[in-house]
Structure 1
Amino acid sequence: MTVISDLAILVVAAGRGSRIGGGRPKQYRSLAGRPILAHSLAALHRAAPDAIILPVIHPDDQDLYLESIAGLDAKLRGRLRDPAFGGATRQASVLGGLEALRSAEAEIPKFVLIHDAARLFASSELIERAIAAAKAHGAAIPGVLVTDTIKEVDAESGVVATPARARLRAVQTPQAFHFDLILAAHRKAAAAGECDLTDDGAIAEWAGYRVHVFEGDSANMKVTSAEDLAIAEARLIRELQDVRNGQGYDVHAFGPGDHIWLGGLKVPHDHGLLGHSDADVLSHAITDALLGALADGDIGSHFPPSDPQWRGAASKIFLAAAAAKVRARGGMIAHVDATVVCERPKVGPHRDAIRASLAEIMNIQIDRVAIKATTSERLGFTGREEGIASLAIATVRLPI
């Protein structure tokens, strides 16, 4: 087998994240419009664009993983290898990822960085230091100075020692190794039944290798709690300083039918709406608002009614595509505010269900979606119940 890449980055994303509370695993939680895993992969690719990147995921998370990478830059997706599946422990997951790299024909790397998906702020400078340390030392881990006094206690919480802070480091990822060295260490530990080692540096130590500590980064936080989620999202949002607004408007006439679509929700009515697609007037207006904020044409330019493939199509396809364009630009949908204008059906009873549907389609929190409804006091085509109109404003945040 021939080495064709000096570097691989193994991203450990198989955990359940139970400490953070219910819901999906933390690496798939959305922060500033993108899952944590997507932020982590993007940061690693920016720092090492030529590296092979191999995520290690839980077997139950394949759909979540595919959803997370869908909006990533095409060049990054081109560097991703098909994910390996993790084991019952982090140690087992890393070994599975290393074996997957080893078994790939002609793609065995010289060096590997092993990184936790929950650390989404790995800087280019940190990655450069990790690569240099792997080349110089064979086994290296990032560490930051400990500023608090540390006490060692016994089973009854009595202090038994106070280690000197100057000799202590708080260890982070990515941890950096010669590939063959860390694979051999993991295999040795697994064969010996040694399964309580908490990081890859500890595995290398146990296997008899000297591990170097290089300068870490205090900003390289790990998301482990609900409080961490809030802190991380605030940091991400601060980086999205290009704030833009877009507006959208759409109208469709009533025709035969027994329901209409509003925001991806099927609403019973004594008429349907006429259109080339499913005539979801609300989704169309929001789609145009998002595209307007990106200065990227309108719904007709991306999904022309002259194209037969869109005949009868679900409008959530259009809206999801517009939202994905925002994420592909590294941005987030900060807020959507839309109004439906009609005499009937009454939107109020369906408002929260419509908001939930739209939030799911755009992959944003429901509290970023506002839906209002009004009549036109029996004036005009909406007042005569000839059709429905919708207006929308979308606010997006993009990196400068």
Structure 2
Amino acid sequence: MSSTAFSVAAVVVAAGRGIRIGGGMPKQYRRVGGQAVLTRTLAALGCHAGIARIQPVIAPDAAAFYEECLGELDPIVRGKLAAPVPGGETRQQSVRAGLEALERAGAPDLVLVHDAARPHVDFGLIDRAIAAGRNHRAAVPGIAVSDTIKIVDDAGAGIGRVRETPPREALRAVQTPQSFAFRPLLDGHRAAAEAGLHGFTDDGALAEWAGLSVVTFEGDPRNRKITQPADLIEADRAFGSAASAPGFSAMTQYVTRLGTGFDVHAFTEGDHVWLGGVRIPADRGVLAHSDGDVALHALTDALLGAIADGDIGTHFPPSDEKWRGAASDQFLAHACSLVRARGGRIDHLDITVLAEAPRIGRHREAIRARIAEIAGVPLSAVSIKATTTEKLGFVGRAEGLAAQAAATVRLPEEEGATLVDAQAETAMRQG
């Protein structure tokens, strides 16, 4: 697999009926914290920069439910979604349907297979899945078992005679996403179907049957599968809006992060500039690949900085022609969705525009309102200011304009602890 042309896709298995959970609706379409389970799962995968394409597999009669989920997704995530394909009677058949669809569209190097009913998947787990699959070609996330496990002969009525007590150290509870080199997994599925085997409930087991060497990597205890009504209640609490932001739970400890951003554009011919998502009449425009909105560009970088996820050029390369002339509101919306995909909350957004002209005083409230709308935060969480540079520098000479921004976000404590631990380890090595 080439390091310069390595592609990753995901198959999301959402074709189950979920009848055990009750309620007259498949569990993947039930709402937790105000959004469908499937919406949250697709958002978590789609916001990850390493995943280029997602192939959903749904029940043939679930198109209306699925379309409702699409309406709640960030446009960037929707852009990664292939048209859904119908699943089969078993999970194994549904996974194969997704793999066959991926091949028709152009086979990826690596495929992640993930259950729609696991909406708690986070970037750390996805990172580990991609790395393990790339290094080992077949890998599944596993959690160490804390309870003693008994292998029994089932005698019915819940009574079984113990045959064996395997050592806990050798046991793992397996999760998804499971990660595989694409071609060997598809070949394994085809071979199993030809052999008349349709009962594999786990792609790792199918890969083992097909002769692949499967490894385990570190799973995540929080990556629970929703199977029972109690799981829905717990997920609703975890994704609840107790603090007025999707994914923010009052039961979780959070750390505060501050990110900053800066952007500048030179003036050119034109009759308007975009600032904070608002079109402002001016005697000149700006030279830019997109719409040149320095306020939204700086704010996007501030949010990406707060979650340590690159910069605006990482996610929207200026070398990509599809972003030529693009509206910058989608850049900010994407950065906000990345914060929320990590369970974070945006507390405050602060922008300062540096320009001799145009004056933004009379547009200030419109800009605040537009940014609040894009970011999904209260108006009180948005501040915008403007200043000149007292005729100094390129701004003072009216050759262009600039903006600097700061974004304050709260992330689950584990995110912050990871950064602190890494900094401490670096300090120890340097010391």
TM-score by length of 1: 0.59
Match of 2:149 in 1: 150
> Does residue 60 of structure 1 match 2:65?
no
Identity value in percent: 49
Matched residue, 2:199: 196
Q: How far 1:189 moved relative to its partner?
A: 0.4
- 5 Å matches for 1:28-43? 28-43=29-44
The answer to whether the Cα contact below 8 Å between 1:142 and 1:174 also exists between their aligned partners in 2 is yes
Match of 1:137 in 2: 136
CA positional deviation for 1:92: 0.2
Q: Does 1:182 find its partner at 2:185?
A: yes
Query: 1:100: which partner in 2?
Result: 101
Q: Deviations over 1:54-113 (max 9, x none)?
A: 100011001110011112100000010001110000000000000011111xx3100000
Amino acid at match of 2:108: P
SS in 2 for 1:158: strand
Q: TM-score, normalised by structure 2?
A: 0.55
Provide the residue aligned with 1:83 in structure 2.
84
Q: Unpaired runs of 5+ in structure 1?
A: 244-295, 297-324, 332-397
Deviations 1:146-192 (A, max 9, x none): 00000011022011110100000000000000000100110110100
Q: CA deviation at 1:49?
A: 5.5
Query: Counterpart in 2 of 1:23?
Result: 24
Gap change, CA 1:60 and 1:235, over 3 Å in 2: same
Query: Does 1:122 pair with 2:125?
Result: no
The one of 227, 230, 244 aligned to 1:227: 230
Contact 1:142 1:175 in 2 (8 A): yes
1:217 to 216, 220, 226: 220
Contact 1:133 1:214 in 2 (8 A): yes
Among residues 155, 162, 165, which one is paired with 1:162 in the alignment?
165
Report the equivalent of 1:351: none
Q: Deviations over 1:289-324 (max 9, x none)?
A: xxxxxxx9xxxxxxxxxxxxxxxxxxxxxxxxxxxx
Does the CA contact (< 8 Å) of 1:26 and 1:118 recur in 2? yes
| Deviations 1:370-392 (CA, angstroms, capped at 9, x unpaired) | xxxxxxxxxxxxxxxxxxxxxxx
**AA of the residue aligned to 1:149:** T
In structure 2, the partner of 1:205 is: 208
- How many residues align? The count is 250
Following superposition, the deviation at residue 196 of structure 1 comes to 1.5
Superposed CA RMSD: 2.6
The whole-number CA distance in structure 2 between the counterparts of 1:239 and 1:94 is 36
Q: Deviations over 1:337-363 (max 9, x none)?
A: xxxxxxxxxxxxxxxxxxxxxxxxxxx
User: Do the aligned residues in 2 keep the contact of 1:5 with 1:52 (CA within 8 Å)?
Assistant: no
- Residue aligning to 1:302: none
Q: Distance in 2 between matches of 1:160 and 1:50?
A: 44
For residue 282 of structure 2, what is the aligned residue in structure 1? Answer: none
Provide the C-alpha distance between the structure 2 equivalents of 1:208 and 1:79, rounded to a whole number of angstroms. 32
Q: Which residue identity does 1:166 align to in structure 2?
A: E
Structure 2 spans left out of the alignment, 5+ residues:
247-276, 278-332, 342-408, 412-431
- The answer to whether the Cα contact below 8 Å between 2:150 and 2:162 also exists between their aligned partners in 1 is yes
Residues 38 and 239 of structure 1, relative CA distance in 2, 3 Å threshold: farther
CA shift digits 1:192-251 (9 cap, x unpaired) = 0111211000000001111011110011000001000000110111685559xxxxxxxx
